Amino acid sequence: MPLEIRHIEILVSNLHRSVEFYTELFSLVGWEQVDATGFKYGDTKIYLKESVFTKRNSENEQRNMLGSRHMCFNASDLKMVEAVGKFLNKYGTKIIRGPLEVKDDWHPKGGYHTVDFYDPDVYILEVAYKETKQ
């Protein structure tokens, strides 16, 4: 059996606010809600848990702290990336970049469509679609 990520726990400062945000976000990228604070795609689950610590880091501190820098969710097509961008604008979410097509050292031929943004607790998230050449 291959090594897979079974589940991830995300500590949040306001459980109600985060469940509302992630419920709508995950519905756009094909994840399903499995209980009051849990979501899944295939066998991978993400659980939200309210933290006893409520101090939020600044955006700059979050980008440079130890630990996970960001999570990227794979979109099935470009429309999914664009739909997430519309949701983020409607929700008033701080968008870092996108939705846009990236052409850089990691993607020299382009075809990488992304939107990077902060969740309500300043975690960096990304939804991306990589074009495949036929």
Asked if residue 24 belongs to a domain, the reply is yes
Q: For the whole model, what pTM was predicted?
A: 0.80
Asked if residue 35 belongs to a domain, the reply is yes
* CATH code assigned at 54: 3.10.180.10
Summarised one tens digit per residue, pLDDT across range 2-48 is 778 889 999 888 999 999 999 999 999 999 999 999 999 999 999 99
Give the count of domains, the chain. 1
Asked if residue 2 belongs to a domain, the reply is no
Measured CA distances, 30 to 39, 61, 100, 102 (Å): 10, 31, 21, 23
Asked if residue 1 belongs to a domain, the reply is no
Range of the domain at 11: 7-130
Asked if residue 92 belongs to a domain, the reply is yes
Summarised one tens digit per residue, pLDDT across range 53-73 is 655 566 655 555 556 778 999
* Structure tokens given for 32: 């399903």
